[in-house]
């Protein structure tokens, strides 16, 4: 099945810093989503981005489907950005999401 790799696995930032999270995938996809998992386990939808670029406030994402990667940018980070960020993809032969192992972000005041 499709492989999804996220990097870095862990990231510690000072409040106000910017960061880039990366997601590489091994096959063609027709769906790619970024999620933020809060401390209570809820997966919060950030972006539905099978291709192209989207922005939502301090967050933006870019997916280059032909090169099989996606990037999540967080600018001016806040302590509330802390948590685990997951990339999940749906390859063309399946109907389920395959998740990466996540990037654990800690933003310190």
Partner 1 sequence: DAGVTQSPTHLIKTRGQQVTLRCSPKSGHDTVSWYQQALGQGPQFIFQYYEEEERQRGNFPDRFSGHQFPNYSSELNVNALLLGDSALYLCASSRSRTEAFFGQGTRLTVV
Rule CB under 8 A: which residues touch partner 1?
30-31, 33, 35, 40-43, 45, 48, 86, 88, 90, 94-102
Own/partner contacts of 47-52, CB < 8 Å, gap of 24 or more, are 47/72
Closest to partner 1 by CB, 16 vs 52, is 52
Minimum Å distance from CB 99 to partner 1?
Answer: 3
Helix (H) or strand (E) holding 31: strand 29-37
Closest to partner 1 by CB, 13 vs 84, is 84
Q: Is-contact 30 92, C-beta < 8 A? A: yes
Q: In what order do the strands lie in the sheet with 69-74?
A: 4-7, 19-25, 69-74, 59-64, 52-56
The DSSP call for residue 81 is G
Minimum Å distance from CB 76 to partner 1?
Answer: 26
Closest to partner 1 by CB, 77 vs 98, is 98
Minimum Å distance from CB 102 to partner 1?
Answer: 6
Closest to partner 1 by CB, 17 vs 97, is 97
């Amino acid at each position: 099945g499709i492989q999804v790799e996220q990097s870095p696995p862990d990231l510690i930032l000072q409040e106000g810093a910017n960061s880039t999270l990366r997601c590489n995938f091994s096959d063609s996809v027709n769906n790619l989503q970024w999620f933020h998992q809060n401390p209570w386990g809820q997966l919060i939808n950030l972006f539905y981005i099978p291709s192209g670029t989207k922005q939502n406030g301090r967050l933006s994402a870019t997916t280059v489907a032909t090169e099989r990667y996606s990037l999540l940018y967080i600018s001016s980070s806040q302590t509330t950005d802390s948590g685990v960020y997951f990339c999940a993809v749906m390859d063309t032969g399946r109907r389920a999401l395959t998740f990466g192992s996540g990037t654990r972000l800690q933003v310190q005041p």
